[in-house]
Each structure stands twice: as structure tokens, then as C-alpha cells.
Amino acid sequence: MDIAAAKKLRSALSVHFVVLASLTAMLVATGSQSYFLPIFISTVAAVAYILVDRLEWFELGRIGSFIGMLTATAFSIGSYLYSAFSVPSESGQLLAIAGLLVYPEAVLFMQGKSLRVFEQLAVFLLLEMIVAALVNDNILFGLLLAPIMLLWVSALFLFSRYATLVQIDPSIDKPNPILAEILYQRFVKTVIRPAPKQSAVSAHATLGTVQSARGFRRALQSVPIGIGSIVFAAFFFYLMPRTSIRSLDPSLAFEPVVGLPKSLDIGTVGRLLANPTPVMRVSLRKFGSGENYSLKRNEPPYLRARVMETYQADSNGRGWVAHNEWIFGGISEYRRLRGLESLRNASNAYRDLVTIEFDIKRKFVSVMYCAPPAFAIAPSQEMRLNYDSYNLVLEDFDLAKLPRGRSLVYDIGTLGFKDGVQLRVTPAQVALPSFTSSRGRRNINHDLREFENANRYREELLEQSQVDLNDRFGIADFFERHFTNGEFTYTLDLRPPIDPDLDPIEDFLINQKKGHCQYYASAMVMLLRQSNIHSRIVVGYRPTEFNSRGKWFSVRQNDAHAWVEAKFTHEELSNTFLKDELTDAEEYWVRFDPTPSGTEEGELAIVEQSGQTLDYVEKLWKDYVVEGQKLSGDNTLYAPVAENSKDAYEQVLEKLRNFRQNLESGHLFSGQGGIGFEWPLAILIIGIGCLAILVWRLAWWLPRLAPRLAKRFGLERNANMIQQAFFARCIELLKRQGLTRGSCETPQEFTQRAVDELTRKATRNASLRDSLSLLTTIYYRLRFSQHSQLSKSETQAIDEAIRELTLAKSK
């Protein structure tokens, strides 16, 4: 192998590592949402490939490499410490660790490539894959894993070739010495210099026959090996027992909590509505059967998260300040969520039993969601759900209890639906005696009459309307319709207050008449409170994107919504259109949504999720790979194996049993339990068979039809192959008699041996010997002489000889 070929091999390896480094950094980036590292390493690697490997304009020497490595390490450690202590963030620390791997990679790319450099790059890239696996939970990891595996296999092919050649001829590799070697050569070897000894023999290997890269062949070989390893990984993954030692899984640090905040100042929801980040997937299923529960009126469901009933409006003497906020001012009464038997009142109303599964992404798990009235469906569920039956919300989740890298998945039951419609009425629990005197009671009853402008507006509004002032539900219903009748418009484009002296809600109500859901809910609660109707703001999500493949709602941050809940007695609602939703409870919370639609089409409707297939695949990836919660109900040791294998074995046994019965009864191919004849399957099998035969025949004929093309595909004809049909036939006939041509035998030697063997077996074979001799002679003449044409007499003689051989075989 000459220098150019070795250089070509090194160059091909460099290209592989450049692409691998970029893809691996991209893997890290998809998990961390920081694209600096892939851009950085891609740029540096590409520049290094051009300038260092191709053009050879420069390369980092040993001193430069050490300085570069030290700088990269110091910088990465610094950023790690900053992430650990200044901004406590686990993902930040992992990113810093990724940097600790990526920056030295950049230095390695800048060095002249040698076996050692490639080894170090490989180690760094593998470690980076670990970081990528830690920060990643989306399908992109799976999608990128396959090409990365194939690239790794291809790179390892090249690496093994290069390492083999270096082993034979070390002069093709010029490694940059490590520090220990430099020190040794500088200080030790100069003092004790061993006398050069001439060995008895010097050996020199010849690498002239070795090719450099073999691109196409390598690609052909990489694919099956890469796929094989992925298949093995899949088996390994599903058969590997899990330990699930949760106690060994403390978080590295706290993560910043995002999602719905505990307080709602003016504009909070507006900020949420501008953020399309996915929060969770919510699926509704029928309780018991597990079938999808579809919503008939095409109305997005209301998913409840928080309740806020206290409005903190501070005045600085000059007027209302803009940052007034809604908070939850009461006392929570969380108890363990009980089962269906606790909702006897509601169940009497023949409501539908619906199971809701919440699959919340990790960074949003601090808030729990429900749809009241809720009940627990799995008492043995590992996670304990605490429910405040007065406020109808679940207790926030402690993030530290969640294993790192996991999302939160839980199921609850609800009686909030009937005939595919989410009901507006929820039975209210009577407040506990201690609650009566509490701050919560005061807050919820606070009439907000100090907002005089709003109160005046309300009085004028009621005077103009024909509403019976004793009909509390009628007033509430009027207010809801007042906001949605077209006078108010929905917008996220908020303007500065027209009258700065007014409270923002009053300003919205009287002057602006434009805003988003938070304004509408706040204004309606204010009007209801001033009308002595107990009410509160409810914050949650109202998702519209439905994934029809996976049958779930994809909830994003911009699905955040605020609506109103007002409390009425059974009597107040008994004559309204909500009477069918009532149970035998004394009081009810009724949902009002005063927010007008923000779209020209009218009311919000459920739409098909865009890119739902990808989301579906990602969900499968998460369920079956990243978290594996679908592998088993509980994550005990060997549970997946035991559970999977139990079903699998039972199914196999059952199938075998059926097969035997059908076999015995002679109904193997009948439709009743036998082997059903599937036309598509049969066509598929026949098609694959035909394709295989076609490929096989093509591989057979290609060297004859297009030798150059065949050579390109590595299918050139074997130089030792018999190219004359009659002699090939002769060899085949001899093979049938147990005589096979050895790989080192010439045709003449073989026929001679054949004659000897046949002579030993039979006595009369003079004619056979002549036949073989004739065939061999003619074959040699055609093969090695200029005259490649057969005369008529020769053709006849060949036919005779072949016939003789055939007859000898039949005898």
C-alpha cells in the first residue's frame, strides 16, 4: 500500500468521524434544546477535515494539542461548576459534561490523524452517546440511532482495516506522542541510550494487494451488521430484567419548574398562550373496557389544574398597580383520592364512567390535572393521589419522587361526562366546619364591591337587561352571554391601559373590551361576586389537537385556559337547562366560560393533530423504550420477563394445542382455528421469493452480461471458474459420481485423478478415459490458445464424450 492509499483510508475515516461527531452532538442537542454544540463541532470538524486532512495546510502539534486539551477541559469544568452551583440545573450539568467531551473532540480533529487520535475520538464519541441517552427522551434519539449505528459499523470497518495495516507496517501511521513518551525520550532515553542491535532477520511486509477503503463493499457489509446489532439490541432490551432501585436514583439537582403558576397576575396566561411547548398527552377511555371515549359535540375538554379565588389588588394611593394577581387564598383539604363508591350521588345520575390517562412531560409534572368529579381507579397504583374535594383539584406532585428522566403517567376516573359531553355541573362538597371560619371562606365570599367602577358597570348592565335579580343562575348565565355576544373580542395583542387609575380588570371591562381568557374570567368572577354569587377562577388546559392514531389529546402550553366556576344550590338549578345534570347533592359548582372564540370559525373545536404520526411514534418510543412503562404494570425485578413470557408462552402453547387438534381432525387449512389462508401474506411470500430468485439470477448473470458493472458490485467472475459449458458439464457429471475438483487442482490434474478413481471402481473404462482426455484437451485448447472456435467434428466428439460420461454415471 502506497502513501496515497493510506492517506485515502485515513481521509475516509476522518469523514466518518466528522459525520459521527455532528450526529452525536445533534443527539445531545435534541434532548437539551441547545444547538450550540452540534453547530460548533460540525463547523470545527468540517474545517479541520478540509484544512488538516485534505489540504494538509496545518495541524496541531503535540504542544498545541496539550494546550488545546487543557483549555477545553478547564472551560468545560468551569461551565459544569457554574451549572452545579450558580444555576442548579441537571440538564445544564449534563450539557457541561457534553461540552467536556465535545471541546476535546474539536482539538482532536485539529490534529494530524493517527490510530491513536481515531481511538480517542471513538472513546469521546461513545461517551457523548451516553450523555445523549441521559438528556434525551424523544423519538429523534431512536431515529438518529439507526444511521449512527450504521455509521459506527462503517467507521469500525475502516478502523479495523487501518489498524491491521498499521500493525503490519507501522510506518504508515505517524502518531503524536503522548506526554509520557515525550518526557521519557527527553529525560530518560538520552541518559541511558541502548546500543542499537541488529537483529538476525529483518522482515518487510508487502501491502500492495490491500485496497484502501472499498466504499461500496463496505456499505454492503455494514448494513447487515448494523441491522443485526440493532435487532440484538431490541431483544436485549426487552429481555433484560430491570432492577428499578428507585432509592438509587436521586436527582443531581432541582430543575426549574415550569407550567401553570400558582399565582395568576395579569398577563400570565397571555405569556403561556404564546408558548407551543408540548405539556402532556391526555387520553379518555371508557372505564372498564378501555375503549376510546369520544367527545360528540366536538368540544375540547376542560382539564382542571388550579383554583384561584382571591384577588390581591394593591393600591399605592395613585391608583391600581398593574401587577395585581389572582391567588389561591384558602386552605387545602387534601385526602387520598377515593374510589368510585365515594361518588354515589353522582353515579346515581347515570353519568358515564370515564378513565383519563395523563402522560405529563417531566418538566411539567409539578402540577396535577383532573376532571371533576374524580375518583381513583387503581387503589394499588404506586403513586398516591391526594384530592381536595372542596376545590376539586389534585395535590401538586413532588418532583424529587420522580425518577430522573421519567415522565409522570397516572390514571384517574371521572364522572364529569355523559353521552360524550363534558358536563358543566359538578356536585360541591359541603365545606368542613373548620373551613367555615377560615380565610378561604372569607376569600370566596368576598364581594369585591370596592371596585366601584365595575360595580357601577354591573348595575347598569343588569338594569338594561331583563334578568330577574332573584334568579342567581340567570344572572350568571347573562354575564356569560354578555361576554360572548360580540361586544368583547379575544386578543393576545394587549394594549396599555386606557385609564391607568383603574384596576386592569375594570379597565378591560369598561374601556378595552379586548383580552384573553384570564381577563374574561377575572371580569366575570368580579361581576358574580358583586352579585353575591360565590365564584372562583379555574386554571387548566383546554386542548384542541386530537391524535386520532393514538386516541389522545396533545396538550401544549398555549392550550392553557382560565374559566369560571360559580356555586349554586339544587333549587337554583332545578328549573334551568342544567337540571338533567343534577344529582341529589345540595350545592353544585357550575362551569362558565366567558371567553369568546379567538377564531373566525366560531367556537373552539377539536382538530386533528398536525404531525400526529410522529407524535404517535414518539409516544410508542417513550412507552416501550425510553421509560418502558408499557413493559409491565409494576417495575419489580424480572417483572417484564415474567409477564411478557407468561403471555408469550401461553399463546404459543395455545397455538400448538390448536394446531395439534386441527391436525388430528384434518382441518388444518380450514378457517375454523386452522391455518387461515391469507392472500396478502401468500402474495408477499411469493413476491419475496421471486425477488430473491431474481437477485440470485442477476448475481449469476451480471458478470456475463456486464463484467465491469459486476466488478463494481464485487461480483466479478471467478478466475478459476470453468468458462466452457461442456467442461463445466463434465465436472458436474463427475461430481455426481463423487468426484469433486479441489481448489488447488488444475482441470487436467482433476480429470487424471478422475480416471484413476474410476479405473479402480470399474474395469471397462478405456472409452471413459478417452472421453475425459478429449474433453480436457479441447478445453485447454479453447482456454489458452488463440483459436476459440469449435469445428463440427469437435462438437460431435464433445457430444459423444458427454454422452459417454452420462452413461457411465447411469451405470
Partner 1 sequence: MAMGDTYLDEPNRSFFGALWKSWQRKRRRDRVRSLSNVRFRLTREGVHYIGILIFIFIGAMLRDINLLILLAGAMIGLLLLQWRFNIRTLIGLTATRRLPRSTHVGTPTEISVRVANPKQWLGAWLVVVEDPLQKLTPSPKRLLEKGVAVVDEVRPANSAASHYQLNFHQRGRFQVGPSTISTRFPLGLGKGMRTLDNAEQITVFPLLGTLKPRIKNVFQQEMHGNALASQKVGLHEADFYGLRPWTTGDSRRWIHWRTTARLGTLSVRQFERQQRQQACVLLDLHGAEQRKLLELDDKVELAISFMATLATGMARYGSDRLAVAVAANENFALPSVQSSTLVENLLERLAVISASPNPDWIGALRGITIPLLSNPHLLVVSTRENQTAQLQQFARDGIASKLFSRIKVTWLNVMSGDLEPYFSWT
List binders of partner 1 among 108-137 (CB under 8 A).
Answer: 119, 122-123, 126-127, 129-130, 133-134, 136-137
Of residues 400 through 419, those in contact with partner 1 by CB under 8 A are 403-405
Is 199 one of the binding residues for partner 1 (CB under 8 A)? yes
Q: Which candidate, 345, 263, 273, places its Cα nearest to that of 306?
A: 263
Measured CA to CA, the distance from residue 547 to residue 524 in angstroms comes to 33
- Look up residue 613 and give its DSSP letter: H
Q: How far is the CB of 235 from partner 1 (least distance, A)?
A: 8
Residue among 85 and 235 whose Cβ is closer to partner 1: 235
Residue among 15 and 284 whose Cβ is closer to partner 1: 15
Which of 3, 180, 192, 200 is close enough to bind partner 1 by CB under 8 A? 200
Which of 81, 183, 188, 205 is close enough to bind partner 1 by CB under 8 A? 205
Of residues 233 through 272, those in contact with partner 1 by CB under 8 A are 233-237, 240, 242-245, 248-249
- 140: Cβ contacts below 8 Å, ≥ 6 apart: 27, 30
Residue among 215 and 228 whose Cβ is closer to partner 1: 228
DSSP three-state, residue 605? coil
Of residues 319 through 348, those in contact with partner 1 by CB under 8 A are none
Of residues 570 through 589, those in contact with partner 1 by CB under 8 A are none
Which of 164, 185, 292, 436 is close enough to bind partner 1 by CB under 8 A? 164
Measured CA to CA, the distance from residue 164 to residue 285 in angstroms comes to 60
- Which amino acid, one-letter code, is at 778? I
Q: How far is the CB of 382 from partner 1 (least distance, A)?
A: 14
Residue span binding partner 1 (CB under 8 A) among the ranges 283-291, 342-350, 430-438, 626-634: 626-634
Residue span binding partner 1 (CB under 8 A) among the ranges 150-158, 286-294, 371-379, 442-450: 150-158
Residue among 164 and 436 whose Cβ is closer to partner 1: 164
Measured CA to CA, the distance from residue 793 to residue 290 in angstroms comes to 85
CB 553 within 8 A of CB 547: yes
Measured CA to CA, the distance from residue 445 to residue 438 in angstroms comes to 11
Binding mask 632-651 for partner 1 (x = CB under 8 A): ---x----------------
Residue span binding partner 1 (CB under 8 A) among the ranges 104-112, 199-207, 608-616, 802-810: 199-207
Q: How many CB atoms lie within 10 A of CB 497?
A: 19
Residue among 229 and 765 whose Cβ is closer to partner 1: 229
Is 167 one of the binding residues for partner 1 (CB under 8 A)? yes
Residue among 141 and 410 whose Cβ is closer to partner 1: 141
Which cell numbers in the block locate residue 54?
A: 485534505
Which of 103, 109, 157, 589 is close enough to bind partner 1 by CB under 8 A? 157
Q: How far is the CB of 227 from partner 1 (least distance, A)?
A: 10
Which of 210, 327, 448, 617 is close enough to bind partner 1 by CB under 8 A? 210
Angle at 347 between CA 342 and CA 352, to 5 degrees: 120
Residue span binding partner 1 (CB under 8 A) among the ranges 6-14, 163-171, 254-262, 607-615: 163-171
By rule CB under 8 A, what count of residues binds partner 1? 71
CB 300 within 8 A of CB 597: no
Measured CA to CA, the distance from residue 348 to residue 706 in angstroms comes to 82
Measured CA to CA, the distance from residue 286 to residue 792 in angstroms comes to 87
- Bin 282: left if φ > 0, else alpha if -120 < ψ < 50, else beta: beta
Residue span binding partner 1 (CB under 8 A) among the ranges 149-157, 324-332, 383-391, 575-583: 149-157
Q: How far is the CB of 424 from partner 1 (least distance, A)?
A: 42
Residue among 161 and 556 whose Cβ is closer to partner 1: 161
Point out which residues pair with 386 in neighbouring strands.
336
Q: How far is the CB of 254 from partner 1 (least distance, A)?
A: 18
Q: How far is the CB of 551 from partner 1 (least distance, A)?
A: 24
Measured CA to CA, the distance from residue 76 to residue 98 in angstroms comes to 9
Residue among 47 and 230 whose Cβ is closer to partner 1: 230
Q: Which candidate, 422, 410, 442, places its Cα nearest to that of 351?
A: 422
Measured CA to CA, the distance from residue 618 to residue 268 in angstroms comes to 30
CB 52 within 8 A of CB 111: yes
Of residues 83 through 102, those in contact with partner 1 by CB under 8 A are none
Which of 413, 540, 628, 747 is close enough to bind partner 1 by CB under 8 A? 628
Residue span binding partner 1 (CB under 8 A) among the ranges 195-203, 411-419, 567-575, 760-768: 195-203
Q: How far is the CB of 805 from partner 1 (least distance, A)?
A: 23
Q: Which candidate, 138, 182, 239, 202, places its Cα nearest to that of 621?
A: 138
Is 316 one of the binding residues for partner 1 (CB under 8 A)? no
Residue among 204 and 792 whose Cβ is closer to partner 1: 204
Of residues 687 through 726, those in contact with partner 1 by CB under 8 A are 718, 720
Of residues 212 through 231, those in contact with partner 1 by CB under 8 A are 221, 225, 228-231
Measured CA to CA, the distance from residue 440 to residue 445 in angstroms comes to 9
Measured CA to CA, the distance from residue 480 to residue 31 in angstroms comes to 43
- Look up residue 264 and give its DSSP letter: E
Q: Which candidate, 508, 501, 540, places its Cα nearest to that of 522?
A: 508
Of residues 413 through 472, those in contact with partner 1 by CB under 8 A are none
Of residues 350 through 409, those in contact with partner 1 by CB under 8 A are 403-405
Alpha helices in 622-739 (DSSP H): 639-665, 679-705, 707-712, 725-736
Q: How far is the CB of 534 from partner 1 (least distance, A)?
A: 48
Which cell numbers in the block locate residue 349?
A: 345520575
CB 432 within 8 A of CB 388: no
Strand-pair category, 514-515 with 489-490: parallel
- Which amino acid, one-letter code, is at 688? I
Residue among 501 and 749 whose Cβ is closer to partner 1: 749
Point out which residues pair with 536 in neighbouring strands.
565
Question: Rounded to 10 degrees, what is the CA torsion of 669, 675, 680, 681?
Answer: -120
Measured CA to CA, the distance from residue 724 to residue 719 in angstroms comes to 13
Which of 5, 163, 639, 641 is close enough to bind partner 1 by CB under 8 A? 163
